[in-house]
Amino acid sequence: MVRLFLVIGFLLLTATARAAVDGEELFARHCSACHGSNGNGGVGVPLALPSFINSVDDEYLSKTIRIGRPGRIMPGFVELDDAQVTAITAYLRSWATKPAPARDNTVVKGDVKHGQVLFSSHCAQCHGEKGKGGKGTGVTFSRKRDLPIIAPALNNPGFLAAATDSMIRNTVLHGREGTPMNAASKAGLSKKDVNDLVAYVRSFADAYQKPAYQQSGHQQQISQPTEEDAVIVMESPYSLAETVENVKLAITNQNFTLVRTDFLDHGLVTEGKENKNQVVLHFCNFRFLFDALVIDPRVGMFLPCRVTVVESAGKVSVMAINPLRLSKLFNNDELDEACKHMHEIYTAILEDAVL
Partner 1 sequence: MMKRLLICTFVMLQTISAQADELIMVRSQQKFPEAMLTLQTSVKEHGYTVTRVQRIDVGLTGMGYHTDKYRVVFVAKPDEMHYLIKKYPLLIPYMPPKVSIFAENGESVLVTANPALFAKMINDEHDKAIFHRWQNDIQEVFDDVRKAD
Q: Which of residues 156-215 bind partner 1 (CB under 8 A)?
A: 213-214
- Of 305-324, binders to partner 1 (CB under 8 A) are 306, 308, 310, 312, 317, 319-321
Tell me which stretch binds ligand HEC (CB under 6 A): 31-39, 205-213, 222-230, 260-268.
31-39
- Binder of partner 1 out of 152, 325, 335, 342 (CB under 8 A): 325
Per CB under 8 A, 242 contacts partner 1: no
CA distance 207 to 328: 21
Tell me which stretch binds ligand HEC (CB under 6 A): 66-74, 244-252, 274-282, 339-347.
66-74
Side-chain half-sphere exposure of 112, counting CA atoms within 13 A? 9
- Of 301-330, binders to ligand HEC (CB under 6 A) are none
Which residues touch 198 (CB under 8 Å, ≥6 apart)? 108, 110, 115, 165, 168, 169, 172
**Cα torsion for 39, 44, 49, 55, to the nearest 10°?**
-120
Q: Let me know how long the chain is.
A: 355
**How many CB atoms within 10 Å of residue 315?**
10
The strand pairing partners of 260, in sequence order, are 282
CA distance 246 to 248: 5
Nearest to 180 by CA among 296, 291, 52: 52
Q: Which is nearer to ligand HEC, 133 or 251 (CB)?
A: 133
Contact 233, 347 (CB under 8 A): no
Tell me which stretch binds partner 1 (CB under 8 A): 120-128, 141-149, 171-179, 197-205.
141-149
Picked from partner 1, ligand HEC, none, the partner binding residue 325 (CB below 5 to 8 A depending on kind) is partner 1
Which residues touch 344 (CB under 8 Å, ≥6 apart)? none
CA distance 104 to 57: 9
Q: Which is nearer to ligand HEC, 133 or 304 (CB)?
A: 133
**How many CB atoms within 10 Å of residue 245?**
14
- The number of residues that bind partner 1 (CB under 8 A) is 79
Picked from partner 1, ligand HEC, none, the partner binding residue 11 (CB below 5 to 8 A depending on kind) is none
Per CB under 8 A, 62 contacts partner 1: no
Per CB under 6 A, 67 contacts ligand HEC: no
Residue 111 class from Cβ within 10 Å (0-12 exposed, 13-18 middle, 19+ buried)? middle
- Binder of partner 1 out of 237, 239, 252, 276 (CB under 8 A): 237
Characterize the bridge pairing of strands 149-150 and 231-236.
Answer: unpaired
- Of 80-139, binders to partner 1 (CB under 8 A) are none
Which residues touch 352 (CB under 8 Å, ≥6 apart)? 246, 249, 250, 253
- Binder of partner 1 out of 2, 144, 188, 271 (CB under 8 A): 144
Tell me which stretch binds partner 1 (CB under 8 A): 34-42, 82-90, 161-169, 176-184.
34-42
Per CB under 8 A, 293 contacts partner 1: yes
Picked from ligand HEC, partner 1, none, the partner binding residue 192 (CB below 5 to 8 A depending on kind) is none
Least distance (Å) between residue 59 CB and ligand HEC: 11
Q: Helix, strand, or coil here: 283? A: strand
- Of 138-197, binders to ligand HEC (CB under 6 A) are 138, 149, 151-154, 156, 159, 168, 171-172, 176, 179-181, 197
- Where does this chain bind ligand HEC (CB under 6 A)? 30-31, 33-35, 43-47, 52, 61, 64-65, 69, 72-74, 77, 88, 122-123, 125-127, 133, 137-138, 149, 151-154, 156, 159, 168, 171-172, 176, 179-181, 197
